[in-house]
Amino acid sequence: MCNTKSSEMHHTVAKMTQRSDYDVVIAEYSVMGQYLYQNSDINPRTKRIVSCHECYTISRKKVLDLYGIFSIRGFRAMLELYRLEAYEFAMYRDVDKVITLTPEEREGLLRYAPGLDIDVVPHGVDTEKFSPVSPGEQEMSVAFLGNYPHDPNREAVMYFIKEIWPYLKNTLPGIKFYIIGRDPTPDILAAAKRDRDIVVTGTVEDVRDYLRVAKVFVAPIRLGKGFRGKILEAMAMAIPVVTTSLGAEGIPVEDMHNIV
């Protein structure tokens, strides 16, 4: 993340604030915060805000905790952490304000950098678009939604296929698993090739067409931080959700009451 900076983007952001009297410039995700960080050409009257959807430092530490230092993934995460933490929190301190999507993410940042100016702006869902499904539309299936280059999504799907899916298939013959979303990774595609009951959709025009046929939405998230809007979308459609405590983080739900 620290080596992805585009000098053209850096100058473009500054020029835009100089040409027009913008009150605020917001960088979505920490990776875009690098274009606000120490950018002295930005109009000094323009407030710089970073919307932190996911703290990458905390996410890498979760990888290290889950896999351990002696795994390839854990060792790689450890190597990334030193430079990543130094950059990310220097950037947060440099801008005028940080926004997080959940109180938990805010508390996580404050543990690393007490005194940061952080506001929580909760996520929402379009309840007119994502409305309850009609009875009888569902088939015997479960669904997951995501973009799979994002490693927490890929890892969640592969964990589900390896650890949970065999039990479901033995218990409920004919059940299908819909993996919805763009850029499925080679390991996901290989799993679907081995099992015709795993359906990989790729990019779809309307995710509701696939969500509405699922009896259950699963989100076995074990990595990453931030907010899972996919869970709100499923809940808005009155689809039962099974997730982890990490997956439900930031959503005001009660286990075994409105989520499992």
Taken in order of first residue, the domains within the chain and their CATH numbers are 7-120 (3.40.50.2000), 141-243 (3.40.50.2000)
Residue 50's pLDDT band (cuts 50, 70, 90): very high
C-beta separation of 248 from 259 below 8 A = yes
Mean pLDDT score, 96-104: 93
Residue 4's pLDDT band (cuts 50, 70, 90): low
Q: Please give the model's pTM, rounded to 2 decimal places.
A: 0.82
Edge-first strand listing for the sheet containing 47-52: 24-28, 47-52, 97-100, 118-120
What local confidence, expressed as pLDDT, does residue 3 receive? 52
Give per-residue pLDDT as tens, 206-224: 999 999 999 999 999 998 8
C-beta separation of 60 from 77 below 8 A = yes
Residue 142's pLDDT band (cuts 50, 70, 90): very high
> Which residue, 179, 175, 210, is CA-closest to 193?
179
Residue 191's pLDDT band (cuts 50, 70, 90): very high
